[in-house]
Amino acid sequence: MRNHSENSLIIQFNLIGGLIALGMLGASIALAPIPLALKGFWAIGVLMLSLSLVNFVKYRIEDRIRDDRIQRIEEARNEKILEDFVTEKRA
């Protein structure tokens, strides 16, 4: 339970930091003395970068979870093989 609360605190801190960074980028785009079309182009670039980073992190986490599951399955299989071997020797 403690690990969950520590993770949620870190997630909230990162979320706040990301929102502040996006807000600052939005303000700099809005206040820049450039044509509106260029502002829209920059805004689309910031949005696409944000989406790419979210997907990158998501897939990295899923990859780690998958590797961890495979490792636990292999450990359980090896433990079962050893247990069967020991019980055969005793019988």
Q: Are residues 26 and 43 in the same domain?
A: no
Q: Are residues 9 and 50 in the same domain?
A: no
Residue 34 is given by DSSP the state S
- Please give the residue range of the domain that contains residue 63: 35-91
d(CA 67, CA 50) in angstroms, rounded, equals: 26
**What would the mean pLDDT of 5-17 be, rounded to a whole number?**
79
Three-state DSSP class for residue 75 = helix
Q: What is the largest CA-CA distance in the chain?
A: 85
Q: Are residues 59 and 20 in the same domain?
A: no
Q: How confident is the model at residue 2 (pLDDT cuts 50, 70, 90)?
A: low
pTM of the model: 0.59
Q: Are residues 87 and 49 in the same domain?
A: yes
Q: Are residues 27 and 40 in the same domain?
A: no
